[in-house]
Structure 1
Amino acid sequence: IYTCPTGRDYGEELSSFLLSRFGDVLAAQEAKGAPAPRFWISKMKHEPKSLREAYQECLDTRQLARRFGMKDRALQFEMLEFAYVFQHVPDNIMENYCNKVLEPLLARDGDPNQVLMNTLESFIENDGLINEAAKQLFVHRNTVTYRMEKVGSLLQMDFKKTNDLLKLKLVFTFRKFVRDKAVARPHNVQL
């Protein structure tokens, strides 16, 4: 439990602080091949009566991180909050929604569509930031811009519209859920 004197949520700073403060413990545990400590951070709470809620958010963050195979040493509930909301949507609805939205990219065969799909996924993971997606993909920002124009045309979406970005955020959250369940159950359809 940490206080936030200004009333501002310091989740990012707290993550960095914990990782630097316990860096020697983390390194020692990893060197031994032993499990290292991990940190789950709730959203900021304003009342002591909200401690139970904060604790539950930490537990939910741990559960979702395990489900998604996230290896981050410090994770904030806020990072997984979107996934938390939709974790109980039935698999068939998730699959149908993904197929409906991504149909133009899924319908065509060949490597170019996989490149476009990877670019789109990176773009969404990086909150619609072209430069960050380019860094992640190790390509020039103009390459990402060109690919995103092509994807936008195929999907008939405008990536400047919040509604279209939200649809795609849902799609990639759902795809992650379905993939994780497919690993657990060998006879699933993969998206």
Structure 2
Amino acid sequence: MISNQILQNTIEGLKGITRIELCICDTEGKVLATTFPDAEEYEFSVLAFVESPADSQVIQGYQFFKVFDEHQLEYVLLARGSGDDAYMVGKVVVFQIQNLLVAYKERFDKDNFIKNLLLDNLLLVDIYNRAKKLHIDINVRRVVFVIETQTENDTVALETVKSMFSAKSKDFITAVDEKNIILVKELKSNEGYEDMDKVAKMILDMLNTEAMATVHVAYGTIVNEVKEVSRSYKEAKMALDVGKIFYSDKNIVAYNNLGIGRLIYQLPLSLCRMFIKEIFDGKSPDDLDEETLVTINKFFENNLNVSETSRQLYIHRNTLVYRLDKLQKSTGLDLRVFEDAITFKIALMVVKYMNYIETLDN
């Protein structure tokens, strides 16, 4: 259904052109939009007109018109005046409203189609048939962005995203849950992942400044057919989750840059527990004190460079060596040895994943 504000804007614009007062009522006589006061006085006249067989009629100095949507009466239009000019303007307004109904219905149908497409609720034959009916190109490069907002049903953020991309009629903006805004973006033949990263940064910056919203943006891989859009959506959702677990300092995460986090995310929890038990003999990296964890993370950041790590931690080189020796005695892993360092790094990521899953379960 068209919003009352859209109806109001439409008749105000048409009044500005034609200088004829207009009013739109529903089939129960309630005024939805009007350019003149006291329109409520015509409620009974509207109800009587709804019951009459006529499609147009002059009543109390106004031209009354019925506005149909596929043979279903939707609105009653009033145009001030009983002459030919008022009749002609009324017919033009009826035509405009009927076109708006068609456009909004098509937009609603497209939104439903995109939602069902993302959620894999359509058979392959239905995808092609409905896409053709809605004039949606089948063989076009697309990518799905998932924009997660901090607050549920953030209408300001949703409207901001719509204002950024609504002019591009081949892009679709929708929502499938309370916290995520979905952008299905159509790409030009020369656009690639670098361009998608720029789009993600643009979304992030715009929402930070215009909507005052802190968001996370993730996107999937570029697909070539409409039937593959759901895959790009699932990838973007995975990227969002993996980013929360392993790359919490990043606000933009791309599925094709998830690295080892993607592998760990797909491991069963039982296998993760077995791995941690095997490496730490029943203990966990979570049992390590804060000082040791800071030392380990800084050591990894500096590519296992002892001198640079000790300098950044403002400690003597021997102090760092002592801490690494102490860690080796407790875990059996020497972080100065590449293989042990890789094992420990993976273990830290596995523990992060396990903690995230347990948080979801609780």
TM-score category (smaller protein) = 0.5 to 0.7
Match of 1:189 in 2: none
Deviations for 1:107-141, whole angstroms, at most 9, x for unmatched residues? 9x8x8x542233224544x373659x959xx6237
The one-letter code of the counterpart of 2:211 is Q
Compute the displacement of 1:54 (Å). 4.3
The one-letter code of the counterpart of 2:197 is L
Compute the displacement of 1:55 (Å). 4.2
Separation of aligned partners in 1, 2:247 and 2:207: 22
| Aligned match for 1:165, one of 324, 341, 351 | 341
Report if aligned partners of 1:39, 1:73 keep a CA contact under 8 Å in 2. yes
Q: Which structure carries more helix by proportion?
A: 1
3-state DSSP class of the match of 2:248? coil
| Aligned match for 1:14, one of 177, 184, 197 | 197
Separation of aligned partners in 1, 2:204 and 2:284: 45
Q: Which structure carries more strand by proportion?
A: 2
3-state DSSP class of the match of 1:38? strand
Deviations for 1:82-121, whole angstroms, at most 9, x for unmatched residues? 22223243334323322432359869x8x8x542233224
| Aligned match for 2:350, one of 153, 169, 174 | 174
Q: Alignment length, in residue pairs? A: 169
Separation of aligned partners in 1, 2:335 and 2:245: 31
Residue 303 (structure 2) pairs with residue 128 (structure 1): yes
Separation of aligned partners in 2, 1:76 and 1:27: 22
Separation of aligned partners in 2, 1:140 and 1:3: 51
Cα distance, 1:62–1:152 mapped onto 2, change above 3 Å: same
What TM-score do you get using the length of structure 2 for normalisation?
A: 0.35
What TM-score do you get using the length of structure 1 for normalisation?
A: 0.57
Aligned ranges for residues 31-42 of structure 1 at < 5 Å?
35-42=213-220
Aligned ranges for residues 54-69 of structure 1 at < 5 Å?
54-65=232-243
3-state DSSP class of the match of 1:48? coil
- Runs of at least 4 residues off by over 4 Å: 1-7, 49-55, 66-69, 103-107, 141-145
% same residue: 8
Rg (Cα) greater in structure = 2
Compute the displacement of 1:171 (Å). 0.6
Aligned ranges for residues 177-188 of structure 1 at < 5 Å?
177-185=353-361
Separation of aligned partners in 1, 2:357 and 2:303: 27
Match of 1:97 in 2: 275
Match of 1:140 in 2: 314
